[in-house]
Chain A
Amino acid sequence: MLNRPCFKQPRSPFALVLLLGICLPFSGAYAQDLSGRDIMVMVDERPDGDDRTSELSMTLVNRRGRERTRRVVAWRKDYGKDSRKLMRFKKPADVAGTAFLSWDYDDPDKDDDRWLYMPALRNTRRISGDATNDYFMGTDFTYDDMGDRNVDEDTHRLLGEEALKGKACWVVESVPVDPSDMYTKKITWIDKEKDLPVKTDYYDKDGHLKTYTVDTVENIGGYWTVTAMRMENHVEHHKTFMTFRGVRYDTGLKDAQFRVNALARGLRR
């Protein structure tokens, strides 16, 4: 006897919650003579609470203006420099109930552990922990864009300082160490007061590919938090708007919530 999985697997949303967790301390970095790497380390090491809960809505807009919507609830809990993240898909209806769990490790030589629970299959499957360049749920964000990219996977160069929307920013160029990376370089504007990336231009071998822009930053629970952002693909003329609601920090999420055996229980929607 055989049977066939019917479910259209959503792409594994492995480190989205890291992106959801963009936050920063109140005190900015005022050190002088910072290198590009120094700045990116400060960005990487922003405090972001021991755990976080949020609800993410994504609106995908194609070149003809047609919209598609995705909605996800996400939880993150830190274990030292490692973290565990859980996402439950709410919309669209055909993927509602799908759950994704990742255990992310700070050690770049150690692959993350990832599992996907698909309600149609009533089963949890381990999936590859290796980052890919696939687009997350059809958005303009790749998994790599959203992941916990180690600072030393790129070489960073401070290009200068520039005001953006009235905010003083560092401008840092990051070039991947791995020549096979899908991007040839990224140029990021970092709010000097908040150590927060507020804009990134992505380049590939054909030129300027897409632009990431932060639209709204709020102070939630003592942490600066990006609550609205967008990614615009200049080649495909496709855009993704992301908004976050119900963001809460340090609520004491239980360890049990981030275990594989928790994926198959609980509400589907």
Chain B
Amino acid sequence: MRRHPLALAACALLLGAASAGSEPLPFAGYLETRHAVQVKSPHDVLASETRLRLEAEGSRDEAAFFASLNASESHLQEEASEVRLHEGYVDVAGDGWDLRAGRQIIIWGNADGLQVTDVLCPSDLTEYATRDLDEIRMPVDAVNLRYTGSGNLTVETVFIPFFKAAKLPEPDSPWRVGPGTPPDPQEPEKKLGNGEVGARASWFLPGVDLTFSWARLWNDLPVKLAAAPQGDAAPYGYRRTSFAGMTLSVPAGTFVVRGEAAWFSDRSFSAAANGAPDVDKPLLKVLAGCDWYPGADWTLSVQALVESIIHHDETITQDEHRGLVTARISRQLFREKLELSDMAYVTTGEGDLFNRFEADLEITDGFHAMAGADLFAGPRSGVYGRYKDNTQVWVKAKYSF
């Protein structure tokens, strides 16, 4: 007989809530179930999962802690069900400084739905980009020290002692397109010298926000390190890179204009020569965006991103320049009970597309029912077009407590 640990946990939660009566629960979190079905034949179920998130926090004087636990049950693959610590950290604050130590999510940058200077936390790509942001971003064990004692300047330093790789789709996943990489790329040895470090200076001033960031880190995706030895598989692993970035936000009436740029010293690209190891080149990313708040609960946002490979030559397959445009529109209706939103990503080269439409209805306080569609279109050679068989419709219910 199959066990349903999450169902039991949910029942325990509800019983606990009932016995607590009107008293607030000692923890917060949410219970969520989501299900996605492929639009085209054979109409496979692409995702079916129930998740319980429990969060606890407390404080005393200038110290605080936060912990969140994820219990997820996959209705497709029982072995994918898990209970794990999502985040768990302590905050300590002094006069002009604060420290956060432990498992945490650190997000840099101000792009909407894109990563430019957001380089510290690896991503869970098991369902590509169709998951919610706080589930895509994977927490890291880190020490985050901030100096805040100089007015509007904040200086932040981050140390991540142990490398954590991005999570890729399993070989039998519909989101695994192409041959992919071997299952066991060699990860960096867990030693202090292999840690990642970063620093960021931020100014939040009247009329402008400005940040400069730098980091020495590992690329989160595996690369082919060398050609395959005779009769053996090619070795895969991870490579170091240096990073420098900046962001800018300027309000102008009902608009907010945003800019973001990042430079990487070593990004790996597939070699043009058959079987050759991936080639490292510097990469520059530049994003310009604009948010518009016209009123009547409308929000519109457009962004343009250009990636340019420095010292581009014939040894790699990727074009020297690659462009992407995004557009997002949303409106809240019926006193914010219903939100309709649509976000589209279109590449300028291949012209392929990812579009997500979503309707989010608040049934009661904290209880939402959502439905939507993820459309992938365009040539299969494109970054989105390759997933065109995975165009899906989905439903989700989420109760936050």
Contacts and interface: CB of A to CB of B under 8 A. Distances in A.
A269 B57 contact: yes
A121 interface: yes
Which residue among B204, B209, B253, B345 has the maximum number of chain A CB atoms within 10 Å of its CB? Answer: B204
A268 B115 contact: no
B136 A3 contact: yes
Interface stretch (A126-134, A153-161, A198-206): A126-134
A260 B151 CA distance: 10
Interface string A49-73: 0000000000010100000110000
A4 B113 contact: yes
Contacts of B132: 4, 6, 120
A125 interface: yes
Given A94-B366, A268-B66, A3 B296 contact: no
Contact of A93 (B98, B251, B401): B401
Contacts of B295: 132-134
B301 to A, nearest CB: 10
A107 to B, nearest CB: 11
A93 B59 contact: no
A68 B93 contact: no
Interface string B231-270: 0000000000000000001010111100000000000000
A266 B115 contact: no
A69 B135 CA distance: 28
Interface in A144-162: none
Interface in A1-58: 1-11
Given A113-B251, A128-B253, A138 B337 contact: yes
Interface stretch (B6-14, B104-112, B315-323): B104-112
Contacts of A106: none
Interface residue SS majority, chain B: strand
B24 to A, nearest CB: 9
B179 interface: no
Nearest to B292: A128
B375 to A, nearest CB: 13
B177 interface: no
B254 to A, nearest CB: 5
Contacts of A62: 335
A11 B339 CA distance: 12
A256 B154 CA distance: 11
A94 B249 contact: no
A269 B28 contact: yes
A121 B134 contact: yes
Interface in B195-226: 202, 204, 206-207, 209
Nearest to B257: A126
Contacts of B308: none
A133 B113 contact: no
A114 B135 CA distance: 27
Interface residue SS majority, chain A: loop
B64 interface: yes
Contacts of A266: 59, 64, 91
Contact of B123 (A3, A91, A238, A256): A3
A122 to B, nearest CB: 5
Nearest to B27: A269
B293 A130 contact: yes
A127 B151 CA distance: 21
Contacts of A138: 335-337
B256 A93 contact: no
Given A127-B293, A130-B254, A130-B293, A1 B125 contact: yes
Contacts of B249: 125-126
Interface string B132-144: 1111110000000
Interface in B78-115: 91, 93, 98, 100, 105-107, 109-110, 112-115
Nearest to B112: A5
Given A1-B129, A3-B136, A111-B251, A92 B204 contact: no
A267 B251 contact: no
A92 B253 contact: no
Given A1-B123, A121-B107, A121-B133, A259 B297 contact: no
Contact of B254 (A2, A11, A115, A128): A128
A238 B336 CA distance: 13
A92 B135 CA distance: 21
A4 B204 contact: no
B343 interface: yes
B238 to A, nearest CB: 16
B113 A265 contact: no
Lowest 4 A-B CB distances belong to which pairs? A6-B132, A260-B204, A93-B400, A138-B335
13 contacts: A1-B123, A3-B137, A7-B133, A62-B335, A93-B28, A93-B366, A96-B28, A122-B107, A123-B107, A138-B335, A260-B154, A260-B209, A269-B57
Interface of B: 28, 30, 55, 57-59, 64, 66, 91, 93, 98, 100, 105-107, 109-110, 112-115, 123, 125, 129, 131-137, 146, 148, 151-152, 154, 202, 204, 206-207, 209, 249, 251, 253-256, 291, 293-297, 299, 332, 335-337, 339, 343, 345, 354, 356, 360, 362, 364-366, 368, 398, 400-401
Given A8-B339, A113-B251, 10 more contacts: A1-B115, A3-B131, A11-B336, A96-B28, A128-B253, A128-B293, A259-B151, A259-B204, A260-B152, A268-B57
